[in-house]
Each structure stands twice: as structure tokens, then as C-alpha cells.
């Protein structure tokens, strides 16, 4: 049985794997740019004004659901449901545009 714990090598292995993937992986910058462009379009065209507002507060300004609820005078569950519906609308839109 080995006297060295398995975990001591795992961080080195992860580093080696990261270098390998970086060197052999494909460049996905074109796909990422298309995704960003479609996401901006989806936020403008597919979401309601309230959904856009909550997404901006949550993701762009990094406010929690509780903080958004306090700021807008809503119940946190309302904010959570609205964010969930917005994410689902964005998923559906992006699924068909990619």
C-alpha cells in the first residue's frame, strides 16, 4: 500500500490536464461571439421589461434575489420565479438560434 495520499498528485494532474487541453483544444471564440450576440438579441427581443430589469440586477449588478426583492418591493419568491422564467425563455431562444 502507498504511504503517499492520492490527493497530493491530483493538483499536479489537473494542471497537466489543463495545459494539455489548452494546447490541443479547438478555438471556440467564434461560437462564443455568436452566443454573446444572440444572448444580447434575446434579452432585447424575447424578455419582458420586468424580466430584463431583474436579469440586469441579478447578473450585471450581482444583487441577490433578496436584495432585488427589497429594492423592487416584491416577495423573493416572485423575483425567483421571474428570473427562472427569463432564463427559460433565453434557453428556448438560444436553442433554436445556435
* Cα 59 to the center of its chain, rounded Å: 9
Per-residue pLDDT of the chain (98 residues; tens, 9 = 90+): 455 554 555 556 677 777 777 777 777 788 888 888 999 999 999 999 999 999 999 999 999 999 999 999 999 999 999 999 999 999 998 888 76
Burial of residue 35 (CB within 10 Å: 0-12, 13-18, 19+) is middle
| Cβ neighbours, 10 Å, residue 78 | 15
The domain made up of 29-97 has a fold known as Arc Repressor Mutant, subunit A (1.10.10)
Q: Which residue has the cell 423573493?
A: 76
Does this model's pTM top 0.85?
A: no
Amino acid at each position: 500500500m502507498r504511504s503517499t495520499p492520492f490527493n497530493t498528485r491530483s493538483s499536479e494532474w489537473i494542471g497537466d490536464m489543463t495545459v494539455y487541453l489548452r494546447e490541443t483544444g479547438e478555438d471556440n471564440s467564434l461560437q462564443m461571439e455568436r452566443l454573446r450576440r444572440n444572448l444580447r438579441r434575446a434579452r432585447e427581443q424575447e424578455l419582458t421589461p420586468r424580466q430584463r430589469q431583474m436579469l440586469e440586477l441579478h447578473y450585471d449588478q450581482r444583487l441577490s434575489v433578496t436584495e432585488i426583492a427589497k429594492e423592487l418591493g416584491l416577495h423573493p419568491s416572485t423575483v425567483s420565479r421571474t428570473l427562472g422564467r427569463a432564463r427559460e425563455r433565453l434557453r428556448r431562444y438560444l436553442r433554436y438560434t445556435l
